[in-house]
Chains A and B, each alone.
Chain A
Amino acid sequence: MAERATVSFTGSRWRLAGILIFGYILMLPTLGIYRFWQVTAKRRFYWANTEVDGDTLEYTGTAIQLLVGFLFALAIFLPLYGFFFYLSTQSPEALIYGYTGAALLLFFLSGYAIFRARRFRLTRTLWRGIRFHQSGSAWGYAFRRFLWFAVTAATAGLAYPFMAASLWKYRFNNTWYGDRRFSFTGSWRTIAAPYYIVYFLIVGLTVAIIIISAPQMEQELAAQGVSREVLTGYLAMATAFIAFFSYFYLLSRFTSRLLSSVSAGTAALKVHVRARSLFWQYFFYGIMLLVVVLAFLVVAGFVFQGVIEPMLADQEIELNEILQIGWYNLLLLGLLYLALMASLTVLFETILGLGFWRLVARGAVIENADSLKGIRASGEESPLVGEGLADALNVGGY
Chain B
Amino acid sequence: MQLLGKYYDGLTANPRTVTCSIQGTEASGFLEITDLELNHEVAHWPQGSLFPVPGKSGELRLASTSAPEGARVVFSDREIAARARGELPMLARHRQKHTRRQFRIIGLSSMAIASVVLAYIYGIPLLAGQVVGLIPPEMETRFGEKIVVQMADALEESGGLTLCDPDPESLPNRAIQRFTEAALEGTYAPFDVSVQVVANSIPNAFALPGGRAFYFQGLLDKTETADEFAGVLAHEIGHVVHRDGMKQLIATAGTGLLVGFVLGDITGLSVAGTVGAALINTSFSRDAEREADRFSLAVAQRRAFEPTGLADLLERISDDDASAQIFALLSTHPLTQERRAALEEINPLETAAIPAFSEEEWQAIKSMCSTRGTGKRKNKGRDRR
Contact = CB atoms under 8 A, between A and B. Distances in A.
B106 A48 contact: no
Contacts of B263: 32
B12 A89 contact: no
Contacts of B253: 81, 85
Contacts of B57: 15
A263 to B, nearest CB: 16
Contact of A318 (B15, B261, B325): B325
A388 B1 CA distance: 46
A37 B146 contact: no
Contact of A30 (B72, B106, B325): B106
Contacts of A330: 279
Does more than half of chain B's interface fall in helix, strand or loop, or is it mixed?
A: helix
Interface in B82-108: 102, 105-106
A64 B335 contact: no
Interface in B243-264: 249, 253, 256-257, 260-264
Contacts of B53: 58, 60
B14 A320 contact: no
Interface stretch (B177-185, B232-240, B326-334): B326-334
A129 B326 contact: no
Interface in A266-301: none
Contacts, number: 147
Interface residues of A, number: 63
Contacts of B150: 91-92, 95
A334 B117 CA distance: 17
Given A58-B61, A323-B330, A373-B14, A337 B264 contact: no
A324 interface: yes
Nearest to A128: B13
A32 B264 contact: yes
Nearest to A73: B266
A91 B70 contact: no
Contacts of B24: none
- Which of A35, A130, A323, A337 is most buried by chain B, counting CB atoms within 10 A of its CB? A130
Interface in A163-220: 177-178
Interface in A85-101: 85, 89-92, 95
B140 to A, nearest CB: 10
B55 A48 contact: yes
Contact of B335 (A70, A320, A377): A320
A269 to B, nearest CB: 16
Nearest to B142: A89
A246 interface: no
Given A89-B249, A320-B329, A374 B56 contact: no
B106 A37 contact: yes
Nearest to A374: B12
Contacts of B106: 26, 30, 33-34, 37
B272 A92 contact: no
A376 B70 CA distance: 11
A320 B328 contact: yes
Interface stretch (B2-10, B28-36, B119-127, B368-376): B2-10
Interface string B105-143: 110011001100100000000000000000000000001
B153 interface: yes
A29 B114 CA distance: 10
B68 interface: yes
Nearest to B152: A92
Contact of B54 (A30, A35, A44, A319): A44
A341 interface: yes
Interface string B310-332: 00000000100000011011110
A220 to B, nearest CB: 46
Contacts of A31: 110, 113-114, 117, 262
A374 B106 CA distance: 41
Contacts of B155: none
Nearest to B117: A31
- Which of A324, A376, A377 is most buried by chain B, counting CB atoms within 10 A of its CB? A377
B271 interface: yes
B113 A129 contact: no
Given A30-B109, A60-B53, A323-B331, 11 more contacts: A30-B113, A31-B114, A32-B264, A34-B106, A89-B143, A92-B150, A92-B153, A129-B15, A319-B328, A320-B331, A334-B272
Closest A-B pairs by Cβ, 4 of them: A129-B8, A320-B328, A129-B70, A30-B110
